[in-house]
Amino acid sequence: MDQKSTTLSKKKWGFRGNSELQAEPETTIRGALTLLMSNLNISDDRPVIPMSVSEPSAFPCFKTTQIATDAIAEAVKSSEFTSYPPTEGILPARRAVAEHLSKTLPDKLSPDDVFMTMGCQQAAQAILHVLGGSKLNILLPIPCFPYYDVYARSSRLEVRYYNLLPDKNWEVDLDSVIAVADENTVAMVIINPGNPCGNVFTYHHLKKVAETARELGILVVSDEVYAHIVFGENPYVPMGVFGSITPVITLGSISKRWLVPGWRIGWLVTHDPDGILKEHGIIKSIQQYFHVSTYPPAFIQGAIPDILAKTNDEFFSRILNLIKESANSCYEGIKDVPGITCPNKPQGSMCVMVKLDISVFEDIKDDLDFCVKLAKEESVLILPGVSVGLRNWLRVTFAIDQSYLEDGIKRLKSFCERHSKGA
Ligand SMILES: *Cc1c(COP(=O)(O)O)cnc(C)c1O
């Protein structure tokens, strides 16, 4: 080796990965899932029951509508969408989203309030990036869809948690919001209909959330990716209804309601009737974010007007009925399983939180241990509560084919019975 390569080989590399992205694997859904899958027993001939991700599109009964697939095919065939789209999205798509959402809002949205994103996930990433800055903090619920935590930290936001109350159907504990907020708090995030809890906030409660946010001088970021997926007593109320109380940013997509998570299209929408977001440079920052980030493919945006305007109620109500039936059989089935209880019947979204009573079991250490052993012994995948911030709870996704769900609950029951003390 010559002199030069020796010195090079001794060079100490001056880089390292973003430490915020190196959390324990079980603290993200994908990470937990990878861990569980690696524990599956390949010699078990039974099918794997995926009660772990809200992705029913894997089952034939949860196929999207042909109106949506036709709209995509037409957009491709038209050759109209081959150029780079404008960074905030193509106008017909933004207009279609504005019209679609305005149907349930008191004030009409304009296309300028809408930014097209790669799913609700990019919308979340975008807004946290825009709000980020050292010394600032954001309020997230416990339990929470885990991406918010990672995105917030990666955006230099300190994360503070407020509680959701299982005894009050997972309503926001407004006292805990007030307790953790300070003058450096920029926003609070809510998810409604709720993932992971399967709850739906009432109009009255959302109004109180808005009033609390106003008092604190913060905005509300509302993840409504499950908009309209409600089947209990509370109707879906968009947070944008309260935009005149405090500024609201709504995140959404077609992933869940149209059962096409792989198409990667969604939106970020500002509800700012009093121009507060504009005045504080938030709108400008959102625009700048999309100037330097990526955005959804033009032809998928091109299909959005038809997808939103033409999908019929028959499709929505058929899918909603399937999800509702699954939610009911999940809730009823769990009543017979020793060691786990479901404090609230799910009213929306595709999943629910159930509480694990570890003391019932002989040889189970905690929720993660429970889920790993369940995967190994019964080929059933359920997300440990730790992935959504609640130790010794489980997040159960019920939006799967009925026969799989029944099989899954049966296996869950025999697992719990087998591991119970004195079994
Ligand atoms: C699925 C999900 C997302 C991601 O939605 P995409 O449109 O697939 O990016 C965001 N938030 C919540 C609460 C979800 O359940």
The domain locations on the chain are 22-62+314-419, 67-310
Query: Best of 125, 148, 195, 259 to mutate for ligand 1, by most ligand atoms within 8 A of CB?
Result: 195
- Ligand 1 centroid, distance to 256 Cα (angstroms): 8
pLDDT at res. 267: 98
Do 419 and 361 meet the contact criterion of CB atoms below 8 Å apart? yes
User: What is the residue with the minimal CA distance to atom 5 of ligand 1?
Assistant: 120
225: Cβ below 6 Å to ligand 1?
yes
The pLDDT, as a whole number, for residue 163 is 98
The Cα–Cα gap between 296 and 278 comes to: 24
Q: Where are the beta strands (DSSP E) in 48-101?
A: 49-51
How remote is the CA of residue 390 from the centroid of ligand 1, in Å?
19
The overall average pLDDT reported for the chain is: 94
Work out which ligand 1 atom sits closest to the CA atom of 261.
8
Assess whether the C-beta atom of 307 lies below 6 angstroms from ligand 1. Answer: no
Q: Is the CB of 121 under 6 A from ligand 1?
A: yes
pLDDT tens per residue, range 197-247:
999 999 999 999 999 999 999 999 999 999 999 999 999 999 999 999 999
Q: pTM of the prediction?
A: 0.95
Q: Does domain 22-62+314-419 have CATH number 3.30.420.40?
A: no
Pocket test for ligand 1, best of 140, 144, 145 (most atoms within 8 A of CB): 145
Please say whether the beta carbons of 306 and 358 come within 8 A. no
pLDDT per residue as tens digits for the range 50-105: 999 878 988 999 999 999 999 999 999 999 999 999 999 999 999 999 999 999 99
Does a cis peptide bond (omega within 30 degrees of 0) precede residue 143? yes
CATH of domain 67-310: 3.40.640.10
Residue 47 per-residue DSSP state? P
Cβ 192 under 6 angstroms from ligand 1:
no
Ligand 1 centroid–CA 191 distance in Å is: 10
127 in contact with ligand 1, CB cutoff 6 A: no
Report the distance separating Cα 368 and Cα 337, nearest Å: 18
